[in-house]
Amino acid sequence: MENVLFITFGGSAIVHFVITIVMALFARHRVQYLSLAWVNGIFFCTALIASLFCHDIATAQPGILHPGMLLALLAASFLQSIYPLGIPMPGFLQWERMWLYARPILLLLVIYGVATLLGSHIVYVYSVRELAENILSGDILMRLCILGLSVYYIVNIFILPRRLARHAPVPHYLLAYSFLLGLSVVFYTYVAIFYDLYLLAVYAVLFTMLNLYLMLRALETLALQLPRPVICEQTEDPANVQGDTLQEDFNEANLYRFQRINYWMQTHRQEWKDSTFGRDRLCQEVGYNRHLVLQSVRSQGFNNVHDYINSFRVAELKRMVMRGEVKNLKDTLDAGFGTTKTVRACFLMVEGITLDEYLASHKL
């Protein structure tokens, strides 16, 4: 079990170190990533220290409601309730809010520290019966206070993101992440109360995977904000100029195929304005298989064939708006989209602004 814990905590430390570095780089450009950086840095340090004491953790017999486990739960629930949505972060900008939010923790720690200095001893309990017998002891009462405060922060993990969403746009994946994060802390609460090594390792893996997922979604958000590839006007069919032969150079061959695909798309507008037009029909029309078409469009910066086709549809939609052909939202479907939901998603991805904002700027 010691080796399992070492691998689990060591792997978690490595993953959180990578997340910390990536988020710190992001934070140089967007301050909202600062909380992700330094909180994940704390998780990295915690996992690293835990990996160094795997033998002690594997052989420990802390019993029920051990103060060490409860203090770890309190710290974890506090940190996770203020992140990932920046509540009330970044700390160096909002020290007053941070102080007010952390004050109950500091008060409990002071009381616990003073009691320890005055000679209070840890009461070890290993069964519910022993817990009931010692329930009125000062040490057990203090632990129950720590547990109650942890529950308060856990509840905030669930409700604070939704409160913020009422006043600011919050991506759905962040709300889902916060909900799953809250469930993971509830799971850890059980582990903290009834110490179990296997469940502790499971929690470490789940928690690490959740934070890794958040980092990948943040990277995806950044990627969507990168400049989109520009489709150049193809005035001649490359087949008439160069002949339909592949070049020996790999990049030249991809460029040649892309120019042929591009020329067909520009000269067959009515084809792709049909909402049923997709990758398979494009492959059939241009005479290339899926692999070659995908390889060609990716060589020019597009994510996939659907992204490439939708770029034409978005451009057509903008032309329709400029010509005054779009009178209501349903008219946007004439550009080749299947549903208004698809129109909104594609327009935001290609143009970087919402369809409603674009239409409002043109006084639809």
Could you tell me the pLDDT band of residue 87, with boundaries at 50, 70 and 90?
Answer: very low
pLDDT confidence of 14, banded at 50, 70, 90? very high
pLDDT of residue 309: 92
Question: How many alpha carbons lie under 13 Å from residue 132 in its C-beta half-sphere?
Answer: 3
Type of residue at 182: G
CB 313, CB 335: distance < 8 Å: yes
Query: With 70 as the cut, is the pLDDT of residue 181 above it?
Result: yes
Report the distance separating Cα 90 and Cα 337, nearest Å. 41
| Angle at which helices 2-27 and 34-52 cross, to 10° | 160
Closest CA relative to residue 265, chosen from 234, 294, 296, 241: 234
Rounded Cα–Cα distance for residues 29 and 21 (Å)? 14
Q: How far apart are CA 176 and CA 163, in angstroms?
A: 14
In this structure, of 10-14, 39-43, 156-160, the range with the lowest mean pLDDT score is 156-160
DSSP assignments along 63-121, one per residue: -BS-HHHHHHHHHHHHHHHSTTTTSS--GGG-HHHHHHHHHHHHHHHHHHHHHHHTT--
Q: Closest Cα to residue 314, out of 225, 254, 229, 217?
A: 229
The answer to whether 134 and 125 have CB atoms below 8 angstroms apart is yes
Q: What's residue 277's pLDDT?
A: 92
Question: What pLDDT is stored for residue 269 in this prediction?
Answer: 87
Q: Which residues of 109-140 are buried (b: 16+ CB within 10 A; e: fewer)?
A: eeebeeeeeeeeeebebeeeeebeeeeeeebb
Does residue 251 carry a pLDDT above 80? Answer: no
Q: Distance of alpha carbon 259 from its chain centroid, rounded?
A: 36
Report how far residue 341's alpha carbon sits from residue 352's, in angstroms, rounded to the nearest whole number: 16
pLDDT at residue 152, as a whole number: 87
* Top-confidence residue, 61 or 43: 43
Q: Which residue's structure tokens are 């995806």?
A: 220
| pLDDT, mean of residues 192-212 | 88
pLDDT of residue 224: 60
Distance CA 267, CA 312 (A): 12
pLDDT average, residue stretch 315-333: 87
Which one is predicted more confidently, 117 or 261? 261
Burial class (CB in 10 A: 0-12, 13-18, 19+), 267: exposed
Supply the pTM of this predicted model.
0.61
Beta bridge partners of residue 64, listed in sequence order: 194
CA–CA dist 94, 101 (Å, integer): 11
Q: Does residue 84 register a pLDDT over 60?
A: no
The pLDDT mean for the chain works out to: 81
Peptide bond into 84 cis (omega under 30): yes
Rounded Cα–Cα distance for residues 281 and 293 (Å) = 11
pLDDT of 244 reads: 45
pLDDT tens, residue by residue, 345-354: 888 888 878 8
Specify whether the CB–CB gap between 259 and 266 falls below 8 A: no
Instruction: Give, in degrees to the nearest 5, the angle at Cα 155 between 104 and 34.
Output: 75
Confidence grade of residue 283 (pLDDT, cut at 50, 70, 90):
very high
Using alpha carbons only, how large is the chain's radius of gyration in Å?
28
Classified as helix, coil or strand, 290 is: helix
